[in-house]
Amino acid sequence: MPTVEDLKKQILFESLSEVEIAELVPNIQKITITKDKYVFKENEPTTGIYMIHTGKVEIKRKLQLDSKSKMLVMLRNIQSDEIKHTADGWENRYALLGKGQFFGELSILEGKKKHGAEAMALEDTELFILKTENFLELETTNTETMVKIMKSIAKVMSSSVRALDKRILKALTGH
């Protein structure tokens, strides 16, 4: 089980007080994923929001591309490693995440039962997980804490949208 000090370092909980974090500690589990192992795969059941204590995680998705799309991807993607061809086919890297960052929230917020992407540990990684049922329970049992957590999620999502906008512009213009 993580400590309050461990959780204070998590972006998801950056606006929570020590008392609020302490109330969450019993609902958070610590798990270890070894290098090159999946935290979850696409279409596996959602389990919660993951927070990185140590290590790195890559969020990616398999792509189904026809021949014309493959050629376009190859031409546009010469300087990038976001879309690549692997032994398992084409994949798109959405994010490379490290200490303090979180993932898995989109499936929870959208009410999806299965993940729409996969998460793989790029190093031996320690994660904290706030299970879906505990996250959803906060909506009714502690709305003030939930609002603060949702603001943290919104900040990260806003930053991600801005980064995506830059990536799209770069792909379109080549700059």
Q: Where are the domains of the chain?
A: 4-166
Tell which phi-psi region holds residue 11, choosing left (phi > 0), alpha (psi between -120 and 50) or beta.
alpha
Handedness of CA 20, 146, 154, 2 (dihedral sign): positive
- Name which residue leads in pLDDT, 148 or 158: 148
Structure tokens at 131: 């299970």
CATH code of 4-166, in short, is 2.60.120.10
Collect all residues with Cβ–Cβ distance below 8 Å to 158 and sequence separation of at least 6.
none
Return d(Cα 128, Cα 29) in angstroms, integer.
5
- The DSSP secondary-structure symbol of 99 reads T
DSSP bridge partners of 30: 128
pLDDT confidence tier of residue 79, bands split at 50, 70 and 90: very low
Span 103-132, pLDDT tens digits? 999 888 888 999 989 999 999 999 999 999
Q: pTM for the full model? A: 0.82
pLDDT > 70 in the chain, percent: 78
Residue 162: the pLDDT is: 81
Residue 82: the pLDDT is: 62
Q: Are 27 and 131 in contact (CB under 8 A)?
A: yes
- Name which residue leads in pLDDT, 61 or 101: 101
Return d(Cα 99, Cα 102) in angstroms, integer.
9
Span 138-155, pLDDT tens digits? 989 999 999 999 999 999
- Name which residue leads in pLDDT, 60 or 83: 60
Using a 10 angstrom Cβ sphere, with 0-12 exposed, 13-18 middle and 19 or more buried, the burial of residue 124 is: middle
